[in-house]
């Protein structure tokens, strides 16, 4: 019997569908890890162009349960999940219901998620408008510098070099790289005024009212950074 998710309303499913569609835009074969416990579903993904983890939550109409299981933790195809969530979003009823796709062999990142608790506030994050402005300036600089390159130098290694220099810069007086804020902007998270920076061990988390972007502190891993 297929496990099912009962969303609090069709709007929750629609917002989640929009998030999944953005992920698939960057990776047609994207996978997402689903974790549901109680009345909250957390969806983890990794848009490859940004080399960060992104997290979107959705409210469920009732605590998750499927047979004897009271919690869900599975990695599935983002495309298949989008199809089912999309159907739930179009449901005529007050609450949409989406079946959970069959599990897939998850990519390496899906086995190393940030901790659930232990997050504490970090100082130094600029105001939301300043963060959005910083992202806009970084995008403009990246495009300008790429356009200035001679055609023979517009190769992946050179683009990575330019990208690494720009996107690894810190946001304000924090350790958060600009690429994390760019990912938040691109995925539709960087809206409104609710913006906070948290840390837990080696992890940094940019939290907004629409989702979170999580990244390991500089030096914790070597990553290529060339956002599209």
Closest Cα to residue 123, out of 217, 71, 198, 29? 198
- The CA-CA-CA angle for residues 93, 98, 99, to 5°, reads 140
pLDDT for residue 206: 98
In a shared domain, residues 89 and 152 = no
CA 104 from centroid of its chain's CA atoms: 19
* Alpha carbon distance 163, 171 (integer Å): 15
Average pLDDT, the chain: 90
Q: 92 and 28 in one domain?
A: yes
Strand partners, 206: 197, 213
Backbone Cα Rg of the chain: 18
Domain shared by 18 and 54, yes or no: yes
Does residue 32 form part of some domain? yes
* Residue 222 domain-assigned (yes or no): no
Name the band, by pLDDT with cuts 50, 70 and 90, for residue 95: low
Same domain, 98 and 16: yes
Q: Which residue has the higher pLDDT, 86 or 218?
A: 86
**Is pLDDT at 141 greater than 80 in this prediction?**
yes
| Ordered DSSP codes for 76-138 | EEHHHHHHHHHHHHT-SSSS-EEEPPPP-PPPGGGGSPPPSS--EE-S-PPPHHHHHHHHHHH
Q: Of 47, 70, 104, at which residue does a domain stop? A: 104
- Model confidence over 28-59: pLDDT tens digits? 999 999 999 899 999 999 998 788 999 999 99
pLDDT for 190 equals: 94
Q: Is residue 213 part of a domain?
A: no
Average pLDDT over residues 136-142: 96
- 125 plus 175 within the same structural domain: yes
Q: Both 159 and 77 in a single domain?
A: no
Instruction: Assess whether pLDDT exceeds 60 at residue 227.
Output: no
**Do residue 127 and residue 172 come from a single domain?**
yes
For residues 225 and 163, the answer to whether their CB atoms sit within 8 Å is: yes
Provide the residue range defining the domain that includes 154. 120-195
CATH number of the domain that 12 lies in?
3.10.150.10
Q: What pLDDT sits at residue 219?
A: 63
Domain count, the chain: 2
Does residue 209 lie within any of the structural domains?
Answer: no
Task: Flag whether 115 is in a domain.
Answer: no
Q: What is the pLDDT of residue 220?
A: 58
For 68, the token pair is 């004897």
The per-residue pLDDT for range 167-181, each reduced to its tens digit, is: 999 999 999 999 999
Two structure tokens written together for 200: 């837990």
Confidence class for position 88, pLDDT limits 50, 70, 90: confident
């Amino acid at each position: 019997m297929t496990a099912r998710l009962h969303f609090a309303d069709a709007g929750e499913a629609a917002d989640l569908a929009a998030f999944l569609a953005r992920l698939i835009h960057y990776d047609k074969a994207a996978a997402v890890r689903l974790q549901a416990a109680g009345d909250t579903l957390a969806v983890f993904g990794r848009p490859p162009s940004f080399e960060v983890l992104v997290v979107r939550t959705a409210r469920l109409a009732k605590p998750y349960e499927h047979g004897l299981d009271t919690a869900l933790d599975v990695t599935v195809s983002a495309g298949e999940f989008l199809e089912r969530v999309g159907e739930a979003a179009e449901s005529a009823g007050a609450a949409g219901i989406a079946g959970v796709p069959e599990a897939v062999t998850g990519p390496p990142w899906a086995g190393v998620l940030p901790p659930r608790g232990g997050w504490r506030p970090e100082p130094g994050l600029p105001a939301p408008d300043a963060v959005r402005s910083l992202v806009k300036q970084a995008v403009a600089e990246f495009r300008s510098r790429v356009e200035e390159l001679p055609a023979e130098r517009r190769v992946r290694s050179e683009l990575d070099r330019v990208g690494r220099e720009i996107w690894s810069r810190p946001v304000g007086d924090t350790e958060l790289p600009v690429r994390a804020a760019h990912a938040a902007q691109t995925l539709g998270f960087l809206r409104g005024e609710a913006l906070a920076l948290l840390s837990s061990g080696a992890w940094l988390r940019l939290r907004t009212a629409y989702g979170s972007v999580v990244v390991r502190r500089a030096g914790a891993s070597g990553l290529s950074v060339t956002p599209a």
